[in-house]
Amino acid sequence: MLYWLLKYVLLGPWLRLFYRPQVEGRRHVPATGPAIIASNHLAFSDSIFMPLVVRRKVTFVAKAEYFTGRGIKGWLVKMFFIGSGTIPMDRTGGRAARAALETQLRVLREGRLAGIYPEGTRSPDGRLYRGKTGVARLALESGAPVVPVAMLNADELQPPGRLLPRFKRVKIRFGPPIDFGRYAGMSGDRFVERAITDEIMYRLMELSGREYVDVYAQKVKAEQPRTPDGAAARATTAGTGTGTGTGTVSPARVPG
């Protein structure tokens, strides 16, 4: 109930007024039945703007830290994620991560939409990074199609460290659903899961026009220098701030 109240009464109308979402390919999101919405991840506001333009409810998982913040800001963030139906996820792996996956599978088995960021974290510099195979396991175990969606300029609206997005038109592009039925019954095969994940990332690269980097974003973040306040400094590679180039994928990673 709170989800729809936020989307259509308390928050959604104002977001549409100030950010005037420009959406391409929304027709690719199935009107009924389960589907996995797989998106690149440029900014915190991705989890606000993308569900805003989808007529159905999109259920995401998010890092558990969003639910444990302190003070007024922490409480507001927690209430937002609870209201949006987001599922907390312990990113340390193991049983907790599997529990989050099972929750998303339940969402799909109920015929709903499950949202996921295959990169596992926000891009540190606007480029597209190697996907984690959780999205492939979701697709294989649920049999649901994967709808790729590219957030085209969220990092311009909300650069790292910025609390509120700038008032600028947000642009989002959906691609045709990908059916992985040809891999039915092959869940748990790490080569198959990697092939599926790489195919999804390749589609996201095509949709977004972002340069692809075949390493995990989390590793890049861990290697970045720290600022005096302890935050990771943003990468300053020339030409990657907005990621407008088409980039390349390692030949070993291009789906056949």
Yes or no: is domain 18-23+31-253 CATH 3.40.1130.10? yes
Residue 95 has pLDDT above 90, yes or no: no
pLDDT for residue 137: 95
Cα 210 from Cα 122, distance rounded (Å): 14
Q: Find all residues with CB under 8 Å of 256, minimum gap 6, and list them.
A: none
Q: What percent of the chain has pLDDT over 70?
A: 84
Residue 136 has pLDDT above 60, yes or no: yes
pLDDT in tens, 220-244: 988 877 654 444 554 433 333 333 3
Residue 193 has pLDDT above 90, yes or no: yes
What is the total residue count of the chain?
A: 256
Mean pLDDT of the chain: 84
How far is C-alpha 85 from the geometric centre of its chain's CA atoms? 15
Provide the residue ranges of all domains of the chain, joining segments of one domain with +.
18-23+31-253
Residue 245 has pLDDT above 50, yes or no: no
Cα 19 from Cα 254, distance rounded (Å): 35
Tell me the backbone φ, ψ of residue 40, rounded to 5 degrees: -70, 165
**Average pLDDT of span 88-100:** 67
Q: Are 130 and 213 in contact (CB under 8 A)?
A: yes
Answer with the residue of higher pLDDT: 80 or 207: 207
pLDDT in tens, 150-182: 999 999 999 887 878 889 999 999 999 999 999
